[in-house]
Structure formats: C-alpha cells, structure tokens
Structure 1
C-alpha cells in the first residue's frame, strides 16, 4: 500500500497578506494599506492569531503616524502571544512567526523612540536582543541584530527625545 504524502494546504489569507506586502515593498503603500485594512476587516479582532500577527506586523510598517504604527505593532505582539503550539504546527510558515519576535520588539522599541518614550523603548529593545539569540545565523538574523545595534547606539547618543 502506497503511503499518501500530505501536502501543505496553501493558506489563502497568508497569500493575500503576502501579495499586499509585495505591493508595499514595491512602493504602492496606499494600495497595500487598503488591502491590509480589508483583510483586517475579514479576519477581525478575534480571528486566527497567526493571520492577525502577520497582518498587523505588515500593517504597522504602512502607517504614516508613529502612534498608529505603535497600535498595529502592539496588535501584532498580542496576536503572536496568543499562538499555541497546535496552531503553529498546522501552518508551514509558522516557524517564521516565532522568528518575528525580535522584529516585533525592535519595531515597538523604534515606535516608542519616535514617540519620545525612552523607558518602553529600552524595555522592548532588551526583549528584541534576547529574542534575537534564538535566530539562526543567516541574513535575516544579521539584519535584525544590526538594526538592534543601530537603535541601541541612537538611544545611547541622544535618548528617545532626540529621535527624529
């Protein structure tokens, strides 16, 4: 009897998030933001935490106002914390979600710096540095670690109040 190999079923929501992210990275920030908002309306505040984490993480980067960016980054972190091992095991891309923790905390630290809130910025920067220890030694990890070092230097040089 031949064993049936199970194929990972593509996640249509993750695909749509990825498509909007590609628009954003290509420079069409406004269209990406509209697509993210439509997806958020479909997913809802109580939707799948994997979808909410990923979408909010990308949506934060599409914001013009630092306070709005902070709100979306906080949503992403909250959703990441709701993920359980069973849900992570269901999705082929799930291990990448855990690798987002350093980036999630780094983004929050940068948000707080832009808002002139040095205390929370330092807290999230410390959390980002700790979470980055679990990353593989690859280009993504090196980029995150370099961004953490740059933000640390900026905080040391001028504090949160001096952030542009």
Structure 2
C-alpha cells in the first residue's frame, strides 16, 4: 500500500525488515513474493535486477526442492509444470506451487525489463524467451493474454531501441 501510495522509501524499509525477518533459509514462496515486491521499490535499475533475480531464485528453489515432499523430483529451472500440477485445482485453497507457476512469466518479464533498462538486449531477449516458454504453461485467460501482450510490447521496445525489426 505504501508503494502504491507513492512512498517507495518507506515501502522499501518495511519490506527490508520483512526480508531480514524471513531470512535466507525462510520459506521460498514468501521470499519470492517479497523479493518481487521489493524489486518494484528500487530506484536503481541494478538494484531492481538484483531483487528480481532473488525472486526468481527463490521460485526456482521452491519448484525444485518441493518442501511438501510431493512431485516427481527436480524440474527445469524457470519453467514450472509437470504432471503433478493441476492447472485447474478446483474450489478450495490453492497450493503455493500453483501460484508460483503463474508467477514465472512475470518474473522473467520483469528481469527482461531490468536488462533492457541496463542496455543489455541479449540478456533481455534470453529472459523474454523464458517468459514466453513459461506463459504457455498457463491456462487460457485474461492473465495469460495480458502477459503475452506485455512480452510482445517489451520485445518491440527492445528491438526498436536496437534499431531492429521484430
């Protein structure tokens, strides 16, 4: 709420307190979400990239190190999915893994935007490829389409800045 109200510094301070409270061995799902929000409060694009990479690392750790003992073993980092993931779990609470599965395209998109802001188009393109691969694992719907649109827009912006045709 603080960030949305325009108080980036106070939002950053409070999120930092939570980050230290959770600690490096804390729940990966919570570290992912917190780092994702922390990235948005940064003023320096390098700091934003650092926090977005932390969010991705935590998400990949959660997916590959399944704390609930379920699953079929390690997964390809950055591309969540697999036979034990029901894309429509039905009514009731959703497992955090389902939420993270939907988070991967956004994480890769944010990292691509960070690299674009740092004038690193090759790295940005690599992250856009990962975003496209992970968005295809999502169920059809408004969220999936909004991510595809955002990926396409960033692709056009990067290619335009480089003087390339998409």
- Does TM-score exceed 0.5, indicating one fold? yes
Which has a greater percent of helix? 1
What TM-score does the superposition give when structure 2 sets the normalisation length?
A: 0.76
C-alpha change, 1:93 and 1:133, in structure 2 (3 Å) is same
The Cα of 1:92 is off from its aligned counterpart by 3.7
Gaps of 5+ in 2: 71-92
Residue 109 of structure 2: aligned partner: 106
SS state of the match for residue 24, structure 1? coil
Q: Does 1:80 align with 2:59?
A: yes
CA distance in structure 2 between the aligned counterparts of 1:68 and 1:153, rounded to whole angstroms: 24
1:60 alignment counterpart: 39
Q: Distance in 1 between matches of 2:68 and 2:2?
A: 28
1:33 deviation in Å? 1.3
In 2, Cα distance between equivalents of 1:43 and 1:67: 23
- In the alignment, which residue of structure 2 is the partner of 1:133? 136
TM-score (normalised: structure 1): 0.76
User: Which residue of structure 2 lines up, in the alignment, with residue 156 of structure 1?
Assistant: 159
How far off its partner does 1:85 sit? 3.5
**Cα deviations by residue, 1:132-162 (Å, 9 ceiling, x for unpaired):** 10122222222211110001111221229xx
Shift of 1:87: 4.0
- Corresponding residue for 1:16? none
SS at match of 1:155: helix
